[in-house]
Amino acid sequence: MPHPDRRDALRDLLIPAGLDALLVTDLLDVRYLTGFTGSNAAVVVGTGATDLLCTDGRYRIQAAEQCPDLQTVIDRPSAPAAAASVPPGRALGYDSATLTVDGLAAIRDAVPGRRLRRAPGLVTRLRTRKDAGEVAAIRAACELADTALGELLDAGGLVPGRTEREVALDLDDRMRRLGAVGPSFETILAAGEHSAVPHHRPTEAVLRRGDLVKIDFGATLDGYHSDTTRTFCLGPAADWQRELHALVDAAAAAGRTALADGAAVPGVDGAAREVIEQAGFGEQFPHGLGHGVGLAVHEAPWLGRSGTGSIAAGQVVTVEPGVYLQGRGGVRIEDTLHVVPDGPAVPLTTLPRELIEV
């Protein structure tokens, strides 16, 4: 991974922000900039000094192995120690979106008189656009997760009589056996009336013939995530289930078509939402259209009616419209896509989207 190049790109953002250095404390940002995967670390990236990683004694060997190009300080707590490496009089920025109030107070105590400045979102801005290695990692995570669900279906694991929790654990285990570190998030396995709950947690409810079953799942592989949702029917689907699935499928197609380099974020959401609203189900689509995927399974950009900015090439984003009918059932169809400079976004998820009657 081109970690020095990423730190150079961050350096380019410091001068326009009026900063001599940036203190990075979010662990995913630290990993993005350095490759370090320990549970305690802070990084300083500066305009005129050697970049520095600070962690504690548990990770001395790991830091040397993962970050041989970085000056390393072993101290705890790490953020104040890293901040102390910046000479007095220099403007030191920190990400106010991730640093806690207590964390900031500890830094102020450690470096009294330093010029500390809020600088939210600088690393986030870089992380939004994925390089080729990141896209390959996300694609591999998507392929692994989708393969696991395919194996579950082929093995007859989605059938009446099993519980939601049982099927979810089965899917999670298959992802791990295929090489995933674990699920990207708690797998959503929602059957029957529960499928109308957007973020239902699996229970001991028993799957029944005629149920809609919504499965929202993902795998973590090499630090990167996948995110897919498909909705199935146990046995022949009723007319209303087919119509609901077809509506959401059409909305998802509209969203995928709108997801392009330069497209306004609210417009992408609106393209899918309009399909659902015109069918009279606008209130039953209560969430945004999607989100970025990377080192976090939910990260910028955020696709919604109140979203800002434009879609950019290099981003990896989900499109996941849903319609949820309380007391009856719901449908969500979700794909993870890579935005490219020319042409439509490229799906990284591979499962068929049509309603499958199991």
pLDDT one-digit tens code per residue, 315-334: 999 999 999 999 999 999 99
pLDDT of 273 higher than 90: yes
* Domain boundary assignment for the chain: 3-127, 129-357
Q: At what angle do helices 3-14 and 27-34 cross, to 10 degrees?
A: 110
- In this structure, CATH architecture of domain 3-127: 3-Layer(aba) Sandwich (3.40)
pLDDT one-digit tens code per residue, 174-207: 999 999 999 999 999 999 999 999 999 999 999 9
Instruction: Calculate mean pLDDT across residues 86-113.
Output: 91
DSSP character at residue 40: S
Residue 30 amino acid letter: V
Please answer whether residues 73 and 59 qualify as being in contact, where contact means their C-beta atoms are separated by less than 8 angstroms. no
Q: Six-digit token pair at 280?
A: 């009279």
Q: What is the pLDDT of residue 114?
A: 81
Please answer whether residues 142 and 341 qualify as being in contact, where contact means their C-beta atoms are separated by less than 8 angstroms. no
Please answer whether residues 207 and 191 qualify as being in contact, where contact means their C-beta atoms are separated by less than 8 angstroms. yes
Please answer whether residues 53 and 68 qualify as being in contact, where contact means their C-beta atoms are separated by less than 8 angstroms. no
- The band of 112, judged by pLDDT with boundaries at 50, 70 and 90, is confident
Q: What is the pLDDT of residue 88?
A: 87
- Percentage of the residues of the chain whose pLDDT score is greater than 90: 94
DSSP character at residue 237: P
pLDDT of 16 higher than 60: yes
Instruction: Calculate mean pLDDT across residues 272-285.
Output: 98
pLDDT of 257 higher than 80: yes
Nearest to 234 by CA among 339, 308, 345, 160: 160
pTM of the entire predicted model: 0.94
Q: Six-digit token pair at 52?
A: 């520095």
- Report the topology of domain 129-357: Creatine Amidinohydrolase (3.90.230)
